[in-house]
Amino acid sequence: MSESPLAPGSRVAIAGASGLIGSALARSLTSDGHEVIRLVRRAPRGSDEARWDPESRRVDTARLEGCAAVVNLAGAGVASRYWTKEYKERIRRSRVAGTTTLADAVASLDSPPRVFVNGSAIGFYGDTGTRAVDESAPPGDGFLSSVCVEWEGATAAAAEAGVRTVFVRTGLVVAREGGAWAKLFPLFKAGLGGRLGSGEQYWSFVSLHDEVAAIRHLIDAEALSGPFNVTAPEPLTNREITEAMGRVLHRPTVLATPAPLLRLALGEMSGDILGSQRVLPTRLLESGFTFAFPTIEDTLRAATR
């Protein structure tokens, strides 16, 4: 796959630049000499920020003019709160309204970006059990799947305007700074870690380093569009990942959290933990991307050093 890396000093706008992936992407781009414009909901505090209000569908389009890429990683945290009816609507609205706002803005520009990269998630596929799926699979059932379908569909205006549009279907990002592993690492280091439920459910993980590298690869590769699974090549069961955590952290992993207790404590969100998603990054590998940390041991060591 031919690539045309961003020219030195290129401008990239990022929505969600304060999140785990967005902040790491911004650091990577700025360290290579690019200019990052962070979209913020408050009054901008510097030349590297631009105002947007996804709820009212407003964005400072003048700051998007001439950007080489626009990346949307914004959205309410899926695991941040108990899933009440109101919070589920916030999860959906934050993704769909934000994406619609940016897609409409991108489509209206006189000098549009060469690519619009929009966040998504492997939740698109629902619970796949032991069945391996890649980007050719249809959407699954359930709340997160329906959110992902709407989320990706909200990019339509940008694609119809001829802007190359990419969906990044991200798996479980392994990092100390945020996401699920920010909660798991302290438990395992304290010797309190263990499998969740039966432990037979597949977890499709990816290192933070590879997540950022994949996004940059998708920005640079001019012929790539549509969905890309960003997950390590070999998804493992929760039991296998638990054992790897024990080996890497040199801690026992004999404890287990029964599925009924998880359902009681987490409600509907427990389905995201107990569900199985065996997702393969077929299109990403076919495009020539190489994972720096393809195994769970590599990934865990990269996150803990």
SS (H, E, C) 136-200: CCCCCCCHHHHHHHHHHHCCHHHHHCCCEEEEEEECEEECCCCCHHHHHHHHHHCCCCEEECCCC
* Per-residue pLDDT band at 259 (split at 50, 70, 90): low
Residue ranges covered by each domain of the chain: 11-304
* Per-residue pLDDT band at 184 (split at 50, 70, 90): confident
Q: Is the pLDDT of residue 1 over 70?
A: no
Quote the pLDDT of residue 274. Answer: 62
Q: Is the pLDDT of residue 131 over 70?
A: yes
CATH topology (fold) of 11-304: Rossmann fold (3.40.50)
* Per-residue pLDDT band at 305 (split at 50, 70, 90): confident
C-alpha distance from residue 264 to each of 30, 253, 258, 260 (Å): 44, 22, 10, 6
Q: How far apart are CA 123 and CA 125, in angstroms?
A: 5
Of the candidates 201, 220, 213, 194, the one whose C-alpha atom is nearest the C-alpha of residue 299 is 213
Of the candidates 211, 227, 202, 237, the one whose C-alpha atom is nearest the C-alpha of residue 19 is 211
Quote the pLDDT of residue 182. Answer: 86
Average pLDDT over residues 288-298: 97
pLDDT tens for 136-153 read 999 999 999 999 999 999
pLDDT tens for 207-249 read 999 999 999 999 999 999 999 999 999 999 999 999 999 999 9
pLDDT tens for 201-213 read 999 999 999 999 9
Average pLDDT over residues 155-180: 95
Q: Is 276 left (phi over 0), alpha (psi -120 to 50) or beta?
A: beta
Residues 183-197 as b or e (16 or more Cβ within 10 Å = b)? ebbeebeeeebbbbb
First-to-last C-alpha distance (Å) of the chain: 33
Quote the pLDDT of residue 78. Answer: 84
| Residue 166 near residue 9 (C-beta atoms within 8 A) | no
Q: How far apart are CA 74 and CA 77, in angstroms?
A: 9
Of the candidates 162, 168, 188, the one whose C-alpha atom is nearest the C-alpha of residue 120 is 168
* Per-residue pLDDT band at 265 (split at 50, 70, 90): very low
pTM equals 0.94
What mean pLDDT value characterizes the chain? 92
| Residue 112 near residue 157 (C-beta atoms within 8 A) | no
pLDDT tens for 99-120 read 999 999 999 999 999 999 999 9
The residues that bridge with 70 in the sheet, in sequence order, are: 13, 116
Q: Is the pLDDT of residue 263 over 60?
A: no
* Per-residue pLDDT band at 98 (split at 50, 70, 90): very high
* Per-residue pLDDT band at 269 (split at 50, 70, 90): low
Six token digits for residue 180: 């699920």
